[in-house]
């Protein structure tokens, strides 16, 4: 979605209002009138999703994130949404391993 369409949809919506300043930087703040909840939306996410999905998140009919992906590659649990390309490649490589659980009575059974 382009920024002009996003803004026009917000203005036309009876329950949504821009709650931030006049400058559009990395995030845009939108308030849902009936609930009073204001959300910060990354501009990149606004540009990447259709209006229907954005409206559902802003009005509270859909959770902003269905699932947060975590990994324990580095020895502790961390979110992978901010990992660089090399760390994501390492994650993909590890998922490609041939890991199996031994059958009962097989190797490693007591």
Please write the tens of the pLDDT for every residue from 40-96: 787 888 888 899 988 988 888 877 664 455 666 666 666 677 778 888 788 777 766
Q: Give the pairing type, strands 78-79 and 70-71.
A: antiparallel
What is d(CA 59, CA 57) in angstroms, rounded to the nearest whole number? 6
Contact 69, 80 (CB under 8 A): yes
Q: How many residues does the chain have?
A: 110
Radius of gyration (Cα) for the chain, nearest Å?
21
The structure's pTM equals 0.54
pLDDT of amino acid 15: 93
Residue 38 has pLDDT above 90, yes or no: no
């Amino acid at each position: 979605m382009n920024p002009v369409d996003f803004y026009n949809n917000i203005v036309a919506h009876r329950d949504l209002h821009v709650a931030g300043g006049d400058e559009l930087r990395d995030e845009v703040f939108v308030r849902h009138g009936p609930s009073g909840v204001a959300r910060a939306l990354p501009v990149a996410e606004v540009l990447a999703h259709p209006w229907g999905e954005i409206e559902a998140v802003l009005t509270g009919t859909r959770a902003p994130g269905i699932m947060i992906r975590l990994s324990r590659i580095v020895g502790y649990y961390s979110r992978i949404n901010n990992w660089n390309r090399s760390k994501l490649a390492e994650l993909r490589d590890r998922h490609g391993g041939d890991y199996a659980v031994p059958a009962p009575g097989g190797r490693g059974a007591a």
